[in-house]
């Protein structure tokens, strides 16, 4: 992915200003490329990894990666695309999460070529007058041009004054690190452009911004996110990653190749044909290998495949198994066995669990009070040969 073409096209939705950026990239100047991540959660997931890998590609071209841990911005939370206000997070939580981020980030970035900054570094030192001065650089006309804010107002949805500060703070980060380029999701467009505005107000050259697509979650439908539970954490073990990747629907496989691997467009086209020819499972195994080798190693990927096969394939999960939806996010294991029709009575369910005859995703259920999280589909197994894919 280190050729310039791929860099500015793969997973990229919009660039401002493209001509400037192209000129800068051929100028041989060492550029400061900024990416901000808000530690409002402890885990980074594959969705975050896309821009981190884009940033790594800039590093490989000799540019400086400037990674902002948004421990102050995380306390507010980016209002972009949200239809309500979020409760403010305590700064001690965001600081703790920020520390957890680092080990995950350096699975992707080259630590020796990365400048890591927390935005508490400058925001914690600002007093009221300095904050008012910062606020005086941004017109309300600009603030109210934010689509999210406009929608909140017109729909009478909750919208509080502190939220207008989020774009300002993300923008001020660009001033503080003198960013030449900022990477961000398309939905952050307003914040990214506010950075350009503030850099201009502070007499700096405006950054160019690369706005990227988002990664679909394991369900292949919604955006990958912690709150939807449809994510692969960068902290997941190789085995967990393997299992999760094997659970994505065939329709999302090529999207994952595009967003999460270095496979070329022509290779991905080839995979697409194989999936259509019914070889979805085989292609998914290749996808799992590609992804796992980035966060663990090729060896761990093979090991994870063997484990997976040992549990599932040797248990002879048929390629096609029936599905049952519960219409709920969670269900008790006994409820799942009875409602799905696999077992007739609660006492039989309890006895089977006690005897070790019930498995979820190949793992024995030992506690009859187990609650099954249905945020992603799971394979429920009774005895050796009865399988059912259960979903919410």
CB-nearer residue toward its own copies: 5 or 127:
127
Q: Which two tokens stand for residue 308?
A: 């997976």
Rounded Cα distance, 92 and 89, in Å? 9
Angle, CA of 324, 326 and 329, to the nearest 5°? 125
Residue ranges binding its own copies (CB under 8 A):
72, 75-76, 85, 88, 91, 123-124, 126-129, 131-141, 143-144, 149, 152-153, 156, 158-165, 168
Q: Which is nearer to its own copies, 40 or 381 (CB)?
A: 40
66, 117 in Cβ contact below 8 A? yes
Of 132 and 328, which has the nearer Cβ to its own copies? 132
Minimum CB separation of residue 36 from its own copies in Å reads: 16
Minimum distance of its own copies from residue 38's CB (angstroms): 14
Calculate the alpha carbon distances from 383 to 187, 225, 317, 343 in Å. 48, 34, 12, 11
Q: How far is the CB of 164 from its own copies (least distance, A)?
A: 6
**Nearest distance from C-beta of residue 41 to its own copies, angstroms:** 19
Where would I find the H helices in 232-344?
A: 238-246, 253-260, 265-276, 280-295, 298-308, 333-339
The residue (of 137 and 286) whose beta carbon lies closer to its own copies is 137
Query: Which residue, among 131, 125, 205, has the nearest Cα to 195 in the 3D structure?
Result: 205
User: Which CB atom, from 12 or from 93, has the smaller least distance to its own copies?
Assistant: 93
**Residue 35 Cβ, how far from its own copies at the closest point, in Å?**
22
What's the token pair of residue 285? Answer: 């195994």
Work out the end-to-end distance of the chain between its first and last CA atoms, rounded to an integer number of angstroms: 37
Q: Which of 215, 212, 237 is nearest to 224 (CA)?
A: 215
CB of 99 to its own copies, least distance (A): 19
Q: Phi/psi at 199 (nearest 5 deg)?
A: -60, -40
**Closer residue to its own copies (CB): 149 or 256:** 149
Nearer to its own copies, 139 or 251 (CB): 139
Task: Count Cβ atoms within 10 A of the Cβ of residue 356 and give its class: 0-12 exposed, 13-18 middle, 19 or more buried.
Answer: exposed
Q: Tokens 């066995």 — which residue?
A: 337
Kindly give the interhelix angle for 189-201 and 165-177, rounded to the nearest 10 degrees: 50
- Coil, strand, or helix at residue 41? coil
Least Å from the CB of residue 154 to its own copies: 11
- Reference 110, options 72, 78, 62, 73; nearest CA is 62
Q: Which is nearer to its own copies, 59 or 118 (CB)?
A: 118
Whether 173 and 119 have beta carbons less than 8 Å apart is answered as yes
The distance of closest approach from Cβ of residue 143 to its own copies in the complex, given in angstroms and rounded to an integer, is 6
Find out whether 194 and 149 touch, Cβ atoms under 8 Å: no
Q: Of 88 and 321, which has the nearer Cβ to its own copies?
A: 88
Give the pair of three-digit tokens for residue 243.
Answer: 């299992």
Smallest gap, in angstroms, from Cβ of residue 162 to its own copies?
Answer: 4
Distance, in Å, from the CA atom of 246 to the CA atom of 220, rounded to the nearest integer, reads: 12
Q: Which CB sits closer to its own copies, 135 or 321?
A: 135
CB of 159 to its own copies, least distance (A): 5
Q: Is 61 helix (H, G, I), strand (E, B) or coil?
A: coil
């Amino acid at each position: 992915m280190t050729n310039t073409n791929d860099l500015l096209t793969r997973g990229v939705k919009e660039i401002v200003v493209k001509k400037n950026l192209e000129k800068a990239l051929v100028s041989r100047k060492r550029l400061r490329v900024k990416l901000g991540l808000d530690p409002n959660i402890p885990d980074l997931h594959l969705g975050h990894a896309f821009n981190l890998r884009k940033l790594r590609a800039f590093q490989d071209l000799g540019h400086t990666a400037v990674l902002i841990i948004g421990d102050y911005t995380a306390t507010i939370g980016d209002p972009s695309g949200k239809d309500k206000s979020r409760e403010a997070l305590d700064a001690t939580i965001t600081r703790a999460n920020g520390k957890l981020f680092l080990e995950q980030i350096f699975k992707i970035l080259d630590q020796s070529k990365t400048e890591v900054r927390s935005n508490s570094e400058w925001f914690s030192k600002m007093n009221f007058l300095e904050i008012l001065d910062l606020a005086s650089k941004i017109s309300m006309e600009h603030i109210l041009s934010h689509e999210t804010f406009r929608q909140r107002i017109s729909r009478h949805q909750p919208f509080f004054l502190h939220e207008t500060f989020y774009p300002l703070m993300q923008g001020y980060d660009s001033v503080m690190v003198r960013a030449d380029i900022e990477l961000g999701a398309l939905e952050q467009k307003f914040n990214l452009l506010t950075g350009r505005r503030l850099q201009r107000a502070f007499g700096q050259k405006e950054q160019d911004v690369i706005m990227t697509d988002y990664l679909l979650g394991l369900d292949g439908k919604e955006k990958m996110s912690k709150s939807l539970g449809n994510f692969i954490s960068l902290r997941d073990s190789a085995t967990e990653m393997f299992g999760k990747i094997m659970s994505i629907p065939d329709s999302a496989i090529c999207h994952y190749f595009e967003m999460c691997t270095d496979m070329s467009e022509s290779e991905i086209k080839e995979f697409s044909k194989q999936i259509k020819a019914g070889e979805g499972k085989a292609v998914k195994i290749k996808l799992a290998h590609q992804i796992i080798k980035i966060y663990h190693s090729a060896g761990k990927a093979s090991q994870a495949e063997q484990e997976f096969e040992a549990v599932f394939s040797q248990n002879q999960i048929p390629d096609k198994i029936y599905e049952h939806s519960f219409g709920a996010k969670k269900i008790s294991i006994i409820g799942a066995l009875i409602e799905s029709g696999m077992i007739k009575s609660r006492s039989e369910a309890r006895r089977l669990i006690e005897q070790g005859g019930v498995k979820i995703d190949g793992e024995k259920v030992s506690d009859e009070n187990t609650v099954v999280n249905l945020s992603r589909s799971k394979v429920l197994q009774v005895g050796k040969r009865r399988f059912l894919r259960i979903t919410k």
